[in-house]
Amino acid sequence: MNKINKLYIALFIIIIITQCITIIYVSNISRVSNNQIDNDLIKESKEVFANLKTVINQLEKYNSNKDRVDIETVIDKDESIYDLPFFEFEVIESPRTMYLKKSTTLKAYPYQEADDINNVYPNYVAVYSVVKNMNAEEWALIEFIDYSYAGKTAFGYVRFDDLISKDYTDYLVCNKESINDLYIGDYIEKAISLLGRDYKRIKNELEWIYEYEGISIKINPTSNTIESITITTKGYKTEENVGIGDNALKAIKLYKNSYKMNNKNILYKHLPETVFELEERYVIQLGYDTEDLNEQSKIDYISLYFVDNIYE
């Protein structure tokens, strides 16, 4: 509480006390004659008015001092910046791709005086939120992925004016196979429209994962597009109408008739034999619930993805 507020409160309390004493004083006058007025009561009233005069003088002196500095409101600038509020200016349901048009510095807080996090350069970024601070400045919370430095990821604020809309085409696109009509390269909004909003979003270093019951969808956070789909429970089907619980031998034979199989690891040495190449480096992988494949084996997971590293 600053000094001016304290003075006003003191003034208010003294006025209340004064009014109470005045009432008592008038009441006593009505009950006794003028020569019987209580001398102590008069003395107390004089003291109250003297205190009131002192408060008024202090208040006038305080208000006349144009160069005053209220000690209680002086805060170190570097620390006080993080106490300043901001509010969400634009609600973003899922990451939006925009282009950072110039080199700048990521900030830890949506104010220019905030600490620097990292230097960033023109590139596509994922925008998670747009906020407005007390200076009416718009800032964006972004994720910057530095592909020139092993995909290092940094989060922070940049001025929204430094971002522009610019078409981005993700290089991961495959229309040969789908799970529940979801393909690699589809936008996550399509998955949400088909599967609903009952998901858990998990953030890893280089991707976001949308977890539904029995289905996991990994996206590229910059393009906001699907990179892989994995199912582990019934209720989902591939384009070949294969799902969890189906006979593994029949499912494998079905895909073997349409696509090249990783038999004896001829395609990818580090992947199981039940991987089928849809097109170069795009695969569908079938898992089964027995140690060795036999007539009783059932499909227990299906994964559709792009092979990042063929040399593992």
pLDDT tens string 131-148: 999 999 999 999 887 766
Q: What average pLDDT score do residues 84-109 get?
A: 86
* Mode of pairing for the β-strands spanning 138-146 and 260-261: unpaired
Residue 154 burial class via C-beta count within 10 angstroms: exposed 0-12, middle 13-18, buried 19 and up: middle
Among 11-15, 65-69, 106-110, 187-191, whose mean pLDDT is lowest? 65-69
pLDDT in tens, 266-279: 889 889 999 999 99
Fold topology of 83-164 = SH3 type barrels. (2.30.30)
Could you check whether 83-164 and 174-306 share the same CATH topology? Answer: no
**How does pLDDT run across 14-42, given as a tens digit for each residue?**
455 545 544 444 344 444 444 444 555 45
Instruction: Say which range, 7-21, 71-85, 282-296, has the weakest mean pLDDT.
Output: 7-21
The whole-model pTM stands at 0.55
Q: Regarding predicted confidence, which is higher, 188 or 297?
A: 297
Question: Would you say residue 311 has pLDDT above 80?
Answer: no
Tell me the three state secondary structure of residue 119.
Answer: strand
- Residue 45 banded pLDDT, cuts 50, 70, 90: low
Question: Of the spans 8-12, 16-20, 34-38, 79-83, which averages the highest pLDDT?
Answer: 79-83
Maximum distance among all alpha carbons in the chain? 122
Here the tokens at position 186 are 């589809």
| pLDDT for the residue 27 | 45
**Mean pLDDT computed over 186-193:** 91
More confident residue, 265 or 10: 265
pLDDT bracket for residue 204 (50, 70, 90): low
Q: In the sheet where 275-279 sits, what is the strand order?
A: 200-203, 208-212, 215-220, 225-231, 299-306, 282-288, 275-279, 260-261
How is the chain split into domains, by residue range?
A: 3-73, 83-164, 174-306
Q: What average pLDDT is seen over the chain?
A: 79
Give the strand pairing for 200-203 and 208-212. antiparallel
Q: In the CATH hierarchy, which top-level class contains the domain 174-306? A: alpha beta
